[in-house]
Amino acid sequence: MLEISRVRLQLENQWTISRNSSYYKDNVIVKFEKDGIVAYGEAAPNNRYGEDADKTIDEIEKASFLLEEDLFQYISLKKKIDKTIKKQNCAKAAIDMVVMDWIAKFYNITLYQYFGLDSAHVPATSFSIGIDRPEMIKEKIQQAYEYPIFKVKLGQKNDEEIINVIRTVTQKPIRVDANEGWKNKETAAKKIDFLLDKNIELIEQPLPSNMNEETAWLKDRFDIPLIADESVNTTKDIPDLREPFDGINIKLMKSGGILEALKMIHLAQTFDLDIMLGCMIETSVAISAAAQLASYARWIDLDGNLLINNDPFSGVTVEAGKLVYSEKPGLGIEELQNNVNRLHI
């Protein structure tokens, strides 16, 4: 059985980044059953990458061949999935999660155990604060007092005002994400110069993804980690990022799943690029899937499920910024029965 459902995730607060703003997010959940084992996957379509829920569902439907496949042959199966699902990487991610959830459940261990990883040595996750009026940002920071690190979305004219207002209430480290919002290297340099003495841990995607040369110019001038996000989707993007960036933000929705993310991690390590593990607005399915790889990361930004108020699943949770694993097999998730039906649209 391969069941695809579209779920509308209600955001705790209106979510605004430099590109867009929304009150809800439509994701796609895949439920798969074979030989008595039920496995799940999730796709979080992102319009930055030309994705939407309808197109994603069309792509996932192409993967019905999975029912006939030997899932233990997941390396060759990945090739088949890559050939079949050419668009909508998030659709590929959902199918990849299903396969890996199923495999680890078969062995009755967590997926991180299956990969020989642990859950004890995982850095704290940041909590994201979207773009908002400065007084609202101040309020959100105060509400999120339990988190040790904040990720703040910048890329607007009033970036300085936002940071200044946050610094009136907390001195905790901040990760800045410009989401390609600074449009030229001079603007970015001015912004980074302002940020240098503000206890900023790193800067994500200061410039548009087609400006690697200008980003390398920034890296030469400033001693603060620059992390690629929109500039990196899959393994093939990584060699070009050695010059402009210090690290890469790997997200399952961009990579097309856990197996590709593993390849990316290994290549990035070879190039001495640090790993950040990030997410989109996602339920506990995709967040728990990414969390399986968290011990590889220097920085964790897995808070997508904390930004919604109708998560149809339980899985990894967060206590004072630390990921708490459920220790259930596979991705470690459980469907909340009375929640999910209400969410089908």
Q: Which residues bind Mg ion (CB under 5 A)?
A: 177, 204, 229
Task: Match 């604060």 to its residue by tokens.
Answer: 129
* Angstrom distance (rounded) from CA 213 to CA 228: 13
Least CB distance to Mg ion at residue 248 (A):
11
Shortest Cβ 280–Mg ion spacing (Å): 10
Partner residues linked to 249 by β-bridges: 276
Cβ distance to Mg ion smaller for residue 130 or 332: 130
CA 35, CA 253: separation in Å to the nearest integer? 27
Work out how close the CB of 278 gets to Mg ion at its nearest, in angstroms, rounded to a whole number.
Answer: 6
Query: Nearer Cβ to Mg ion, position 18 or 326?
Result: 18
Pick 212 or 339: Cβ nearer Mg ion: 212
- Report in angstroms how near the CB of residue 339 gets to Mg ion at its nearest: 28
Output the smallest distance, CB 17 to Mg ion, in A.
Answer: 8
Q: Which amino acid is at 52?
A: D
Distance of alpha carbon 66 from the chain centroid = 25
CB-based contact 155:178 (threshold 8 Å): yes
| In contact, 263 and 252? CB cutoff 8 Å | no
Q: Residue 165: which of 135, 193, 197, 142 has the closest Cα? A: 135
Q: Bin 167: left if φ > 0, else alpha if -120 < ψ < 50, else beta.
A: alpha
Whichever of 210 and 270 has its CB closer to Mg ion, that residue is 210
Q: Which residue minimizes CB distance to Mg ion?
A: 229
Residue whose CB is less far from Mg ion, 279 or 340: 279
